[in-house]
A and B are shown apart, each in its own frame.
Chain A
Amino acid sequence: GNSVTQMEGPVTLSEEAFLTINCTYTATGYPSLFWYVQYPGEGLQLLLKATKADDKGSNKGFEATYRKETTSFHLEKGSVQVSDSAVYFCALSSQQGGSEKLVFGKGTKLTVNP
């Protein structure tokens, strides 16, 4: 079945460091790929998405490119801030039984220190 594997955390960085969170997937067909972010005490928010191969999603300085050849969707940011501290989830859309559902990775907790 469809699945998402993302690097396990926690990840701790200093402010202005470069961030990469790896995400690989297994899927049939052509899923859409998403990164969600969860700040403490809140629900998940969409950070960025890509709907086809070679698409690059970007938002708030974060980027991820849909790589079909390596089945990856790694999240990157060139210079993290303390406010980026959160849990990040990679997800793919999965159609099962005619219904669209999301399959999530287990999340990566990021802490950015000043």
Chain B
Amino acid sequence: DAGITQSPRYKITETGRQVTLMCHQTWSHSYMFWYRQDLGHGLRLIYYSAAADITDKGEVPDGYVVSRSKTENFPLTLESATRSQTSVYFCASSPGYSNQPQHFGDGTRLSIL
């Protein structure tokens, strides 16, 4: 089915571990985004990508790494997880025009112990 899929939906890991969150979209949208959602902060942009092999930092990029070798995939990696990275992570995609909305996945709830 067409759409945007995030995996896993839930993840528990320990501090210092590496963890990768996956995001896959079937619309061939050029833009993809990663956000984190925390109480009191709303959604904050971590990284975004305008096309395959083009990525750029958002508001809160420290501690995260992204790659985009294929248009449809945009994985987010926490290289050495910290408790402050416990959050709900959302991936989104859009065609990239200002009058077009972003489409969101259902999120990954990540807990770091």
Interface positions of A (Cβ within 8 A of B): 31-32, 34, 36, 41-46, 49, 51, 89, 93, 95, 97, 99-102, 104-107
Contacts and interface: CB of A to CB of B under 8 A. Distances in A.
Contacts of B101: 34, 36, 46, 49
A43 B105 contact: yes
Main secondary structure of the interface of A (DSSP, over half): strand
B104 A93 contact: no
B90 A44 contact: yes
Contact of A95 (B56, B98, B103): B98
B102 interface: yes
Given A43-B105, A97-B56, A104 B48 contact: no
A102 B31 CA distance: 12
Interface string B48-62: 101000001010000
Nearest to A34: B101
A49 B99 contact: yes
A100 B97 contact: yes
A41 B90 CA distance: 12
B113 interface: no
Nearest to B107: A43
A99 B42 contact: no
A48 to B, nearest CB: 10
Contacts of B96: 99-100
Contact of A101 (B33, B42, B105, B107): B33
Nearest to B35: A104
Contacts of A36: 101, 104
A28 to B, nearest CB: 13
Given A51-B99, A89-B43, A107-B42, A100 B106 contact: no
A31 B98 contact: yes
Given A31-B98, A89-B43, A106-B41, A100 B56 contact: no
Given A43-B90, A93-B98, A99 B104 contact: no
